A and B are shown apart, each in its own frame.
Chain A
Amino acid sequence: MSVTLLAVQTLNGLQLGILLFLIAAGLTLVFGVMDFINLAHGVQYMLGAYLAVACYQLTGSFWLAVTLALIAALICGLLLEFLVFRHLYNRDHLDQVLATFGVILFLNEAVKVLWGAAPLSLPVPELLDGSIQLMANFAYPVFRIALIVTGLAVAVLLYVLVTKTRIGMLVRAGATNPEMVAALGINIRRLFMLVFGFGAMLAGFAGIMAAPILSVEPGMGDNLLILAFVVIVIGGIGSIRGAFLAALIIGLVDTLGRSFATDIARVLLPPAAANDVGPAIASMLIYILMAGVLFFRPSGLFPVRSA
């Protein structure tokens, strides 16, 4: 366990955190602003990845594929909003959970019918294909660094959008008191549709950015959805800032736990037991963290000050 290894693992943790943030940002926006539980956020992430692969197969260019897939993800999101989600805003959370769970099953199956059950992949663009030598015989792919930079850019963009622009002000106002905003002559339905479309696009974007490093397969969003919920619950539902920090914390805790839990367990236990206990603790760590946060701060680290 060297200092370089610790540094590399910290970088890995940050990168996982950024990926989680990209997914959680859209989720927290929709959940916080519209009070709508969208379990289908994970399949929208999957859809983004599949659309990117499909566009890449059509065009042969990564950048063109990203652009087209983003537009397609937005269209899919709006279509889902129009067909399904719009009718659920005034229902209670259980209805929303059931309906969006149905969307998960439907889209996972639809993707399999269209693209087959075998995992697909999206090649890393040539521009970002290199790697940087971080420690003896371990190279850090440039694409992962690009992922970190993109994630930070999205965070800044969202911050500016929500706090500094007129549309952001309307979104915040709509979250606090939709009736009053509607009474002031703002089309609240259209505003919500905009937020939802934007959230879907963020999920799709996360999928596109993940496609070159992870396998593109049916159900790929289901595991990440749970992590994304952990992130927004720890961060405080509806808070972009909270989602950002919570995602980084989760990324770091998970990665460092996975790297060092077994080594630490080995200090205290015989090797065979350490091999059992270490990985078990590592996979529980983030949920223990969530329980702790919820115990001391039931509405998350950065609760949104609203009704």
Chain B
Amino acid sequence: MKRILSALTLGAGLGAAVLTGTVAPAAAEGLKVGFLATLSGPPAVLGQHMRDGFLLGVKQANGRLGGIETEVIVVDDELKPDGAITKVQGLLERDKVDIMAGVVFSNVMMAVYKPIIQSETIFIGANAGPSPIAGRGCSPYFFSTSYQNDQNHEVMGRYASQKGYGKVVVMAPNYQAGKDAVAGFKRHYSGTVVQEIYTKLGQLDFSAELARIADEQPDALFTFMPGGMGVNLVKQYSQAGLKDLIPFLSTFTVDETTLPATKDMAVGLYSGAEWASDIDNEANARFVRAFEAEYGYPPSLYAAQGYDAARLIDGAVSMAGGVQDKKSLLSALAAAPFESVRGDFRFNNNQFPIQDFYLVEAVKRAEGKYVTQLVEKVFDDVGDAYAGSCRMK
């Protein structure tokens, strides 16, 4: 009712507003997907990877996800949560999208999650997985094709324990995601964290921190330094000669979005991820080949998640026989009727994936491109730590 009223005040036609508020849009119109991604500012490259992956999935279905003519409306959230809400409302009320997908950053996710879920629109998250929506705030309308935010950090913590690293220095930017990364790492780490270094968000020069690390001589360094910060850190870590002395365990720092800048300096550095370019299954081989042919650069985990989001929609829509019956579409989505590029994939009770996590390493391929490849599996078929507090099922 609230939604109908707000649609009215926005000047939408009375009939249409009542219609969308109660039943799905008329058939034969095709499938409309609103895709929200960060496509401007320094982190635009993440959004670009995710969008390209999604669009590749749509293209491979000949522009018809689940056999229905599909229109994808890509919208840039500019990494501004308040602006993103307005844009999402436009997608929901003016464009009347059937499905929402995408979202790179957690702060944008937290802003748009409520309005999308309250409008009972199906929402496929392709990257951000903040803990509130995996736990208490979980919703039958939300599915994730990525991970809960803590999980990749947990991979590195578990790996450091398995390796018997007794003394670890952790370093992260001084903001919420940085603190979460450290907390995630510690959850499965049994040794001692000898120093916690929090750097200024957007810091460029890490020489002071690197000197501290060298002075401490830990068994390993765990770090979460997304984007340009990570590029700077990797360069300076290698230039300071620390690369061969102290193992570099990272998350969201060394991947195909930053490797074009760090190149050889990142080779041999580790990252925790749920996907790598050489996961051995047919869907992944096909994805990597097609992606590079289409866009001319190697895909990252963001691209893989975007691609899986499109494939999930494709599989579920054709299983449910269309988008009219929301109930059967929701149960089709929950069955995850598609071949994920990461192999094992099914949904947990909170509709986040139960999947494997790996230690991956940056390598230079024979033809000169830099990608991440598997080293070993760290978690097998694992869900996240917040699923227990989700009250679904």
Contact = CB atoms under 8 A, between A and B. Distances in A.
A79 interface: no
Interface in A251-301: 255-256, 258-259, 262, 275, 278-280, 282-283
* A: contact size bracket: 35 or more
Interface stretch (B52-60, B200-208, B329-337, B340-348): B200-208
A9 B208 CA distance: 6
A143 B239 contact: yes
A14 to B, nearest CB: 11
B240 interface: yes
A118 B199 contact: no
Interface string A192-236: 000000000000000000001111111110011000000000000
B199 A140 contact: no
B45 A118 contact: yes
A110 interface: no
B44 A117 contact: yes
A138 B241 contact: yes
B174 A16 contact: no
A214 B198 CA distance: 19
A120 B217 CA distance: 30
A49 to B, nearest CB: 12
Contacts of A259: 208-209, 211-212
B215 interface: yes
B231 interface: yes
* B: contact size bracket: 35 or more
B204 A137 contact: no
Contacts of A144: 207, 239
A150 interface: no
A139 B235 contact: no
A121 B262 contact: yes
Contact of A121 (B174, B200, B204, B231): B231
Contacts of A143: 239
Contacts of B241: 131, 137-139
Q: Please provide the 8 A-B residue pairs with the shortest distance between their CB atoms, ordered closest to farther.
A: A138-B214, A215-B231, A139-B241, A117-B44, A119-B261, A279-B198, A12-B207, A141-B239
A15 interface: yes
B217 A213 contact: no
A4 B242 CA distance: 17
Interface of B: 40-42, 44-45, 48, 174, 196-200, 202, 204-205, 207-212, 214-215, 217, 227-228, 231-232, 235-236, 239-242, 245-246, 257-258, 260-263
Contacts of B261: 118-121, 215-217
A269 B211 CA distance: 24
Contacts of B199: 258, 279
A84 interface: no
Contacts of A278: 198
Contacts of B215: 2, 4-5, 135, 138
21 contacts: A5-B215, A8-B211, A12-B211, A19-B205, A117-B48, A118-B45, A118-B258, A121-B262, A135-B215, A136-B217, A138-B210, A139-B239, A214-B232, A215-B231, A215-B232, A217-B261, A218-B42, A219-B41, A220-B228, A280-B174, A283-B174
Contacts of A282: 200
B214 A283 contact: no
B197 A124 contact: no
Contacts of A212: 235
Interface string A115-135: 011111100100000010001
Contacts of A141: 239-240
A213 B205 contact: yes
A112 interface: yes
Contact of B207 (A124, A218, A224, A255): A255
Contacts of B200: 258, 279, 282-283
